[in-house]
Amino acid sequence: MSSLSTPAIILRRIEYGDFDLILSFLTLEKGKLSAIAKSARKSTKRFGGILELFAALDILCSSGRRSGLPVLQEAALKQPFAAIRASIICTAYASYWAELIDGWSEEGQRQPDLYELLLHVLNELDLGRTPADVLSILFQIRFLVLSGHGPILRGCSRCKRDIDRIEGGTLFFDLSRGGVVCGRCAAGGSGRLTLSRGTLKQLQWLESGDLSRVGRLRFSPPAIVESLKVLEAFVPYQLGREPRSLTFLRQVRNP
């Protein structure tokens, strides 16, 4: 029998049988990990009600010789992020981020940068220090980069001209080309999204800027709208489907 001890964040929980829970974690040591918490719904003493969505924990899992899910043996709460679950809009944003990781990541692939990103945006969302929409812009663009699907933002994705050599204040984002196109390359096309130069510069910074400084970055309302429109179109395009949590997020954000 082998065991794993690691920090982890709960991405998804499913009731299984009469008393068990199947949990999907993003862990620091093993990336995405699914495990079963036996009798978690029956005994309040064993896990003490800490197995809630988005909670950050230290967990101990064991695996036997036979195939099957690892068993969650112990869990210690580090950060409950209860304020997120108390707000429907915060829950909607956090659910969207969790679904992207759970649906796009492979089991057992260590991704410490992704773990730190999720922990950061959940902490900021819980404290309310950075607007939820700005955190979602940050999460989506960093998630795309970490997953190998980062958008092309520093030059025209068709003619390859550097952004600083392209004239005009308005550019376009082409989903099929995976990035920005200049006005000349966009001529005659359809289904492209507009992106101002100022918004583009902020997105470029978010790709690799210091996470601790994100809260100081000031997005204008039009820049937020532009960024969310582009990213919430590009992510489903790359994923091949629209996440259910994104549909819910749009409903509660724009009732």
Give the predicted TM-score (pTM) of the model.
Answer: 0.94
Domains defined along the chain, listed by start? 1-80 (2.40.50.140), 84-255 (1.20.1440.120)
8 Å CB contact between 84 and 98: no
Q: What is the DSSP letter of 152?
A: B
Average pLDDT over residues 109-136: 96
Q: Which CA distances in Å does 116 have to 39, 90, 219? A: 30, 19, 23
- What is the reported pLDDT for 60? 97
Longest dimension (CA), the chain: 65
pLDDT tens figures, 169-216: 789 999 999 999 988 888 766 668 999 999 999 999 999 888 888 878
**Residue 67's pLDDT band (boundaries 50, 70, 90)?**
low
CA-to-CA distance for 236 and 228, rounded, in angstroms? Answer: 12
**Residue 1's pLDDT band (boundaries 50, 70, 90)?**
low
- What is the reported pLDDT for 190? 60
